[in-house]
Chain A
Amino acid sequence: MKVFHIRLAAVLLMVFAVVAGPLVGTAAAAGKVALVIDVGGRGDLSFNDMGFKGADEAVAKFGMELVEIQSNSAADYLPNLQNAARSEAFDLIIGVGFLLADAMAEVTDQFPDQKFAIIDVTWLGKPNLQEVGFEENKGSALVGALGAMVAAHYGYDKIGVVLGIEIPVLYKFEAGYRFGLHWGNAKYAEVTGKSAEVGLLWTYTGTFSDIAKGKVATQAMLAQGAGLIYNVAGPLGIGDLEAITEHLEAQGKSAGPPFMIGVDANQDYLGDGHRVLASMMKRVDYGVYSAIESVANGSFKGGVRILGPGNGGIAISRQQDLGDFIDFGIKGGAISESDRSQITANWQAMRAAVPAWIWEAVEELEAKISSGEAKVPCDWCADSIKAIRAQYPD
């Protein structure tokens, strides 16, 4: 009897496999986009989530369908892209992240008639590939300058940056932040006549997932007198903020300083609106959105687009972004709808407490960077990071 059941199960299994196969057809709908992400996956609070945001908005706007494909391991990148391309069902296949560079290089050659786009990669140069790069170093410079001036204003002599795994993309953030720090110090001395040499505390935690390291690193930096912590490690920002919140609570306060600076997405709404001073927004959503847009209106062409402070790719968070991201925060469970007005009020108060000249100085730096007068390192500083660290020391 038992053997019979087993045999039956085996037969059913096989029948199922044979029958179900053809049942899966690839429904060729008009306007389909595939978004392939790297192993970080969704929920990094920044980079990948921004990619999704942009894709969601674009397909909603242009009436297309979106298929999101995550990767379990690096070995999935090429098969995922190949599966997508082979199905011939997608108008555009977007790869998010530099980790997909090699796979993209191969698949664009393999399928020359398929349109592709990739974010954070600018060196491939294929006719059917649109490459979107960002100038994170410039954004980090703005944030570094802001940080130096704010810290000096509130009487701190250090600012910090908590980074993730030591990879060249993060060197861009570090290099820009250093540049901004030094510029901010000089500016502060110029405007107030006082010298406040704000120093830098930095560490690579080696992880984009262990929040404890973000929290401990931040606690260590706060103990050494940091007035501002820049999060360049995705979800570790949660840990950073937790450390800052506890630090303030121990003093009976809930508003900063010390502050946190968010990254990639607008994270200002975290911390009740008055512990995250600003966010260095890397508008990956805009990059993805415009790529899809170009396919929707037929203007797609291969090549490289660099998005920076001048063209809406990089920016420091402003009030108009806040409302947008509060929605995001409500979905994330961090805040509820009833908090919205409180958060907005807190945020405005926090920003108003910082002297106007500091905000103007940041805008001045932004203009100088756009015009080319201020040269921020680096485009790609894998080999030059040591020199940059010497040039803009802690």
Chain B
Amino acid sequence: MSFSPIFCHCFRKLVNLSCGCFSQFRVGTYEDIGSIVSSMIARATLIKRLHPIMESMLAAVIGLMIGAVIMLGYGYNPVAAYGSLFQGSFGSLYSWAESLANATPLILTALTFAVAMRGGLFNIGAEGQLYVGALAAVAVSLIHLPSPIHIVMALCAAMLAGMLWSLPIALLKLTRGVHEVISTIMFNWIAYFLALYVIAHVLTDPLRGEKTISIVETSRLARIVLGTTLNYGLLIAIIAAVAVLFVLWRTTVGFELRVSGHTSVAARYAGISHRRQILTVLLMGGATAGLAGAVQVMGRPPTYAVLSGLPQLINLGFDGIGVAMIGRNHPIGIIVAAIFFGGLMAGGRVMQFSPGVPLELVRVVEGVIIVTLAVPELRNMLGSFRRQFAKKKVYDGS
């Protein structure tokens, strides 16, 4: 008799931790029938939570098969190609390292989008925010500090820069009601040209004018696996994800944020959200995006600087959107989805070697996989939201 409530409690905590939609349950009252009912629902929920993961995998397989048909059509051997893909993404230590290295910035930019989504906003400004974050990290290399402090300073500067870039978005929304879709797109472009200017004229490397000054040794993130590009940026990304998980699911602020984001599911696009929530999610998003830029520049060999045209940073923000959606806007899901994306990228590289599948075709296959992933997605999210609605109505009588 006394065992069951403890079991329920632990189980519920596990479920809570791995999926956010159960915030309605008060962790506390479990003396009576409520506990048995809740434990049953919790168990059903867990299975229901794993179900969509399987569905996503099925979608991925379907996508891969369509890709195989396309490849066959152009005379490439899909078995060899996919063999290369898996070999290159998860087939050896090097491959794993590269996949994780690719995933690192994606985790961070996906968090930007996901956090905003949870709060009911549509923040696609990660691109611009990560550019300024990268530049801020480079700027910190102008001063000389001992190693761990220097890294911390650079990361803080990057987060600050990212937040400064997302602040106007929030302010424009709060004061003039400007929808974040348009303001973020505009700010992304403004950041791009600003970055080009800074690279060419402000932080220029005097010896090689097509890049900024290099990140100083004391500010670089060490490599985890030698001979690959995997570095401790991964750790930073994971810490950020855990931090977001904590804030959103374990604090009152986060709780309110998620509820207000859910209050009217369709309102997320109409932009109805509370003032503090808007500021919070956009600033958090700016911080993680800034970190993404910093981590790429401070950790990813071999350049350790920002190149003109921003080839190491371009598209990380947009790819993050895809990662966030496939990761269901949840930090754990995001980490998994980012590794998946990163693996596709790493494996795609190797596909070019053997059997010589061109990179363009790899992108085609990636696109098909993502489109097929779209389908099972919302069915379950919708299902849980509806239950959410019904329960809310019952509990608050609203």
Contacts and interface: CB of A to CB of B under 8 A. Distances in A.
B209 A167 contact: yes
Interface string A162-190: 00011111010000000000000000000
Nearest to B308: A167
Given A75-B101, A78-B229, A80-B349, A102 B303 contact: yes
A79 B349 contact: yes
Contact of B308 (A26, A82, A165): A165
A70 B98 contact: no
B340 interface: no
Contact of A69 (B83, B98, B229, B349): B349
A20 B314 contact: no
Contacts of A76: 345, 349
A79 B61 CA distance: 27
B93 to A, nearest CB: 12
B82 A102 contact: no
Contacts of A352: none
A1 interface: no
Interface residues of B, number: 56
Main secondary structure of the interface of A (DSSP, over half): helix
Interface in B27-68: 51, 54-55, 57-58, 60-61
B303 A74 contact: yes
A38 B354 contact: no
B309 interface: yes
B272 to A, nearest CB: 36
Scoring A17, A24, A67, A171 by chain B CB atoms within 10 A of each residue's CB, the highest score goes to A24
Interface of A: 3, 5-7, 9-10, 12-13, 16-17, 20-21, 23-24, 26-27, 34, 38-39, 41, 67-80, 82-84, 86-87, 98-99, 102-103, 105-106, 110, 165-169, 171, 206, 208, 382-383
B352 interface: yes
Nearest to B58: A9
Given A20-B83, A167-B308, 9 more contacts: A3-B54, A39-B309, A73-B314, A78-B301, A103-B303, A110-B227, A167-B209, A206-B193, A382-B207
A356 B115 CA distance: 69
A105 B302 contact: yes
A59 to B, nearest CB: 13
B110 to A, nearest CB: 16
A264 B349 CA distance: 27
Contact of A72 (B55, B61, B348, B356): B348
B208 interface: yes
Contacts of A75: 101-102, 229, 296, 300, 312
A21 B302 contact: no
A382 to B, nearest CB: 3
B80 A24 contact: yes
Interface stretch (B5-13, B84-92, B142-150): B84-92
B61 A12 contact: yes
A84 B353 CA distance: 8
Nearest to A79: B98
B61 A13 contact: yes
A183 B11 CA distance: 83
Contacts of A34: 353
A5 B55 CA distance: 10
A6 B57 contact: yes
B196 A82 contact: no
Nearest to B346: A79
B283 interface: no
B193 A382 contact: no
Contact of A169 (B90, B210, B314): B210
B83 A382 contact: no
Given A21-B91, A86-B94, A165-B309, A69 B353 contact: yes
B57 A83 contact: no
A72 B345 contact: yes
A83 B353 contact: yes
A21 B346 CA distance: 15
Contacts of A83: 88, 349-350, 353
A21 B303 CA distance: 32
B200 interface: yes
A73 B308 CA distance: 13
Nearest to A89: B353
Interface in B144-177: none
A12 B204 CA distance: 52
B23 interface: no
A10 B196 contact: no
21 contacts: A5-B58, A6-B55, A10-B54, A20-B86, A21-B83, A21-B87, A23-B80, A24-B84, A38-B311, A39-B309, A67-B352, A67-B356, A68-B356, A70-B352, A72-B359, A74-B303, A82-B94, A105-B302, A106-B301, A106-B302, A168-B209
A60 B70 CA distance: 28
Contact of B210 (A5, A86, A167): A167
A76 B301 CA distance: 10
Given A73-B311, A103-B302, A167-B308, A79 B229 contact: yes
Contacts of A110: 227
B240 to A, nearest CB: 19
Nearest to A165: B309
